Amino acid sequence: MNILTFDIEEWALARNGGYGTSEKYAEYDAFLDKILDLLDANSTKATFFCTGQMAEFFPSVVRRIQSRGHEIGCHSYSHTWINKMDFKAAEKDTKMAVDALEQCIGDKVLCYRAPAFSIGESNKWMFEILGSCGITCDASIFPASRDLGGFPGFQSQKPCIVVRDGIQIIEFPICMTTLFGKMVAFSGGGYFRFFPLSFILSRIHKGDYSMSYFHINDFLPESNRMISKKEYEEYFKEPGSLKNRLLRYFKSNVGKAKAWRKLEEFVNEIPFHSVNNAMDFLDTNNSPVINL
């Protein structure tokens, strides 16, 4: 079971950040079309996790994705990390996002992914919010430590059922591999750009489950600039030290020159499904149950 997902927020982030120009939006549009054409050429359907602000301010982008037969999932409203919000703020954000997306596409939104995989031990109450908003499956868990949080104590690295306060959510966690004694992701974002494609494919072929995720920004040819201390702290809500900013600069730029070609080979090689389609292959009666 190999799942392909894309997180869609760039247009709205550019608008919010003051660098949203017609040229920048056109660049995002062009790469989205390349992705959609690539998926069509391989008869592949994916899940696109879109922010509520995308539905509100760029509804044509969300509808274009839906019109090509792909699943629309929720990626929060404003792309604020869940571990930067309390329960009430996260509840408001999620309700606004789901409502905006459903109004945009005229259909139910059943899948969710938190920005930066920001559901962890400290905010597992998020599953209560997801259930109350009609979400039935989630793809937010990064079952290891990472600079943005992670959930190293999560007890499954494969699809499972999360139970929280009587609510059941099917969880599709990020897949991991062991490298030099550490658990690391390998099949999405900066990890995909960093590792050789042969390494990624070998790990996927050895397993029976993978979750791959990408952003439009993974494939833009230009390098991202190093952001200022103020910009870093306003967005990431943590100290904007030189070390933190250099690490973020490296992660946002590593492997970008070859990323698009790698994605083409990747999609040609692996048979992928959307989250919704993957449900057809999931035996929920025998899936692990994780009580949170």
Is the Cβ–Cβ distance between 158 and 288 less than 8 Å?
A: yes
Place of tokens 């833009």: 220
Is the Cβ–Cβ distance between 46 and 266 less than 8 Å?
A: no
pTM value > 0.75: yes
Is the Cβ–Cβ distance between 77 and 52 less than 8 Å?
A: yes
Q: Which helix (H) or strand (E) holds 34?
A: helix 22-41
CA–CA gap between residue 79 and residue 165 (Å, rounded): 26
Percent share of the chain, pLDDT over 70? 89
Is the Cβ–Cβ distance between 169 and 292 less than 8 Å?
A: no
Q: How many residues does the chain have?
A: 292
Would the pLDDT of 19 be above 60? yes
What tokens were used for 204?
Answer: 């996927």
Task: Read off the pLDDT of residues 41-99 as tens digits, 9 standing for 90 and up.
Answer: 999 999 999 999 999 999 999 999 999 999 999 999 999 999 999 999 999 999 999 99
158 backbone dihedrals φ, ψ, rounded to 5°: -130, 170
The pLDDT of residue 250: 54
Compare 248 and 160 and report the one with higher pLDDT: 160
Residues 6+ apart with CB under 8 A from 128: 164, 165, 167
Q: How many CB atoms lie within 10 A of CB 13?
A: 17
Q: Which helix (H) or strand (E) holds 177?
A: strand 176-179
CA angle (118, 209, 107) in 5-degree steps = 60
Is residue 26 exposed (0-12), middle (13-18) or buried (19+ Cβ within 10 Å)?
A: exposed
Would the pLDDT of 148 be above 80? no
Q: What band does 255 get if pLDDT is binned at 50, 70 and 90?
A: low
Mean residue pLDDT of the chain comes to 90
The pLDDT of residue 282: 87
Least confident of 181-185, 231-235, 245-249: 245-249
Would the pLDDT of 8 be above 90? yes
CA–CA gap between residue 79 and residue 91 (Å, rounded): 14
Domain boundaries along the sequence of the chain? 2-226+256-291
Would the pLDDT of 220 be above 70? yes
Nearest to 106 by CA among 67, 51, 68: 67
Q: Give the domain 2-226+256-291 fold.
A: TIM Barrel (3.20.20)
Least confident of 154-163, 169-178, 186-195, 227-236: 227-236
Would the pLDDT of 231 be above 80? no
